[in-house]
C-alpha cells in the first residue's frame, strides 16, 4: 500500500538502477495502466532518451528525462518497481516494462491495476492535473493550519485528502493521529490549536521513521500503533485495547485510551 515513505523508497531504487541508460522502448502488457496516452505515444516520447533524475511529490514519482520530458508514476495499492538484467524473469503482475540498452529493463508490476504512468510536462503540470496540495513533508505550519482549521470533516479524512496535503494514506494517518493523541473522528475545525500543532509536528517524524525502516511496518518502533494494527491488540503505550472503526470508508485503528474523542 504505497504511501509517501514507500514511494520515497521506490525513488531511491529507481535512482540507483535506472538513471542514465538509453531507453530503447517500452512494452505494455496492460494498456489501462498507461493513462491519457497510448503505449505507442509513450514509446515515441521516450525512445532514445534517458532518465536523468527523479522526484517524489506526495505519492507520485516524477521521472525526468534528458530531453526534458517527465513521466509520472503512481503505485496505487500494489504497484512496485523491479530492475531486471538480461535473463531475469519478469515479476508476476508486470503491467509494462521500460527497456534499456543492453537488455536491461525496469518493470512496473501492479497486481490490482490501480496504479499507472502518464506523461506530464513537469511537476506543476502533475500538481494541477491531479489537484494535489503541498507535499506532506514540506508543508509549513501556517499553510497546514490555514488549510485545516476550518474543515468540518473528520481529521483523519482531511489528512488523507491529497488535495489538502499530498502523501499521507490510511496507515500513516492512523499513526500520526496515535502519536498526536487525537481521535481520528474529531472534526478538524474542533481541534484546539495545540492539538492541531501536535498533529503537524508528528507528520515528519512518522514519515521519516517509516522511510528509515524501509517501509517495513512490522519493524517500526514498538511505541507505534502500526505494528499493533489488530483489533483487540494491546496498546503499546497504555495497555488498553486497540479498536477498529471505519472512518471515511477506511479501516481505522486507534486506542480509545490514548486518543480521546473531542
User: What is the rounded radius of gyration, in angstroms, for the C-alpha atoms of the chain?
Assistant: 20
Residue 240: which residues within 8 A CB-CB, separation 6 or more? 234, 255, 256, 257, 258
Q: Does 105 bind DNA (CB under 7 A)?
A: no
**Around 226, how many Cα atoms within 13 Å sit in the side-chain half-sphere?**
23
Q: Does 114 bind DNA (CB under 7 A)?
A: yes
**Around 115, how many Cα atoms within 13 Å sit in the side-chain half-sphere?**
27
Q: Indicate the residue among 105 and 217 with the shorter CB distance to DNA.
A: 217
Residue 2 appears among annotated catalytic residues: yes
Interaction residues for DNA, span 143-172 (CB under 7 A):
150-154, 157, 160, 162, 166, 169-171
The crossing angle, in degrees rounded to 10, of helices 4-17 and 193-212 is: 30
In whole angstroms, the minimum distance from the beta carbon of 174 to DNA comes to 8
The percent helix, strand, coil of the chain (3-state, each to 5) is: 30, 25, 40
Q: Does 130 bind DNA (CB under 7 A)?
A: yes
For the residues of 22-49, what is the DSSP string, one character each? -EEEEEES-GGGBTTS-HHHHHHHHTT-
In whole angstroms, the minimum distance from the beta carbon of 39 to DNA comes to 17
In whole angstroms, the minimum distance from the beta carbon of 147 to DNA comes to 10
Residue 59 appears among annotated catalytic residues: yes
First to last CA, the chain: 30
Q: Does 99 bind DNA (CB under 7 A)?
A: no
Q: Does 251 bind DNA (CB under 7 A)?
A: yes
Q: Indicate the residue among 3 and 43 with the shorter CB distance to DNA.
A: 3
> Which of 64, 129, 197, 250 does the annotation list as catalytic?
250
Which of these segments, 15-23, 83-91, 105-113, 138-146, binds DNA (CB under 7 A)? Answer: 105-113
Q: Indicate the residue among 104 and 228 with the shorter CB distance to DNA.
A: 228
d(CA 92, CA 216): 21
In whole angstroms, the minimum distance from the beta carbon of 163 to DNA comes to 8
The site map against DNA for 44-73 (x = CB under 7 A) is: --------------xx--------------
Interaction residues for DNA, span 75-94 (CB under 7 A):
76-77, 93
User: Hey, is 158 helix, strand or coil?
Assistant: helix
Contact 138, 144 (CB under 8 A): no
Q: By CB under 7 A, name the binding residues for DNA.
A: 1-3, 32, 58-59, 74, 76-77, 93, 111-114, 130-131, 150-154, 157, 160, 162, 166, 169-171, 248-251
Catalytic positions are 2-3, 59, 250
Amino acid at each position: 500500500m504505497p504511501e509517501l515513505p514507500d514511494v520515497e523508497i521506490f525513488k531511491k531504487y529507481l535512482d540507483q538502477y535506472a538513471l542514465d541508460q538509453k531507453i530503447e522502448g517500452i512494452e505494455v502488457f496492460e494498456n489501462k495502466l498507461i493513462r491519457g496516452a497510448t503505449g505507442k505515444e509513450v514509446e515515441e516520447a521516450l525512445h532514445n532518451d534517458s532518465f536523468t533524475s527523479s522526484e517524489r511529490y506526495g505519492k507520485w514519482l516524477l521521472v525526468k528525462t534528458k530531453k526534458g520530458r517527465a513521466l509520472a508514476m503512481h503505485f496505487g495499492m500494489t504497484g512496485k518497481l523491479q530492475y531486471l538484467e538480461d535473463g531475469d524473469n519478469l515479476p508476476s503482475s508486470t503491467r509494462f516494462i521500460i527497456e534499456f540498452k543492453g537488455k536491461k529493463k525496469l518493470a512496473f508490476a501492479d497486481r490490482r491495476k490501480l496504479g499507472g504512468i502518464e506523461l506530464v510536462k513537469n511537476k506543476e503540470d502533475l500538481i494541477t492535473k491531479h489537484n494535489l496540495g503541498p507535499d506532506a513533508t514540506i508543508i509549513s505550519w501556517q499553510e497546514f493550519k490555514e488549510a485545516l482549521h476550518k474543515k468540518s470533516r473528520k481529521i483523519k479524512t482531511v489528512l488523507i485528502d491529497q488535495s489538502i496535503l499530498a502523501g499521507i494514506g490510511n496507515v500513516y494517518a492512523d499513526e500520526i493521529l496515535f502519536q498526536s493523541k487525537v481521535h481520528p473522528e474529531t472534526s478538524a475545525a474542533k481541534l484546539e490549536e495545540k492539538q492541531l500543532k501536535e498533529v503537524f509536528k508528528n507528520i515528519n517524524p512518522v514519515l521519516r521513521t517509516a522511510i528509515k525502516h524501509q517501509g517495513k511496518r512490522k519493524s517500526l518502533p514498538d511505541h507505534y500503533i502500526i505494528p499493533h494494527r489488530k483489533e483487540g491488540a494491546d496498546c503499546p503505550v497504555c495497555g488498553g485495547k486497540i479498536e477498529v472503526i471505519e472512518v471515511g470508508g477506511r479501516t481505522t485503528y486507534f486506542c480509545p485510551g490514548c486518543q480521546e474523542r473531542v
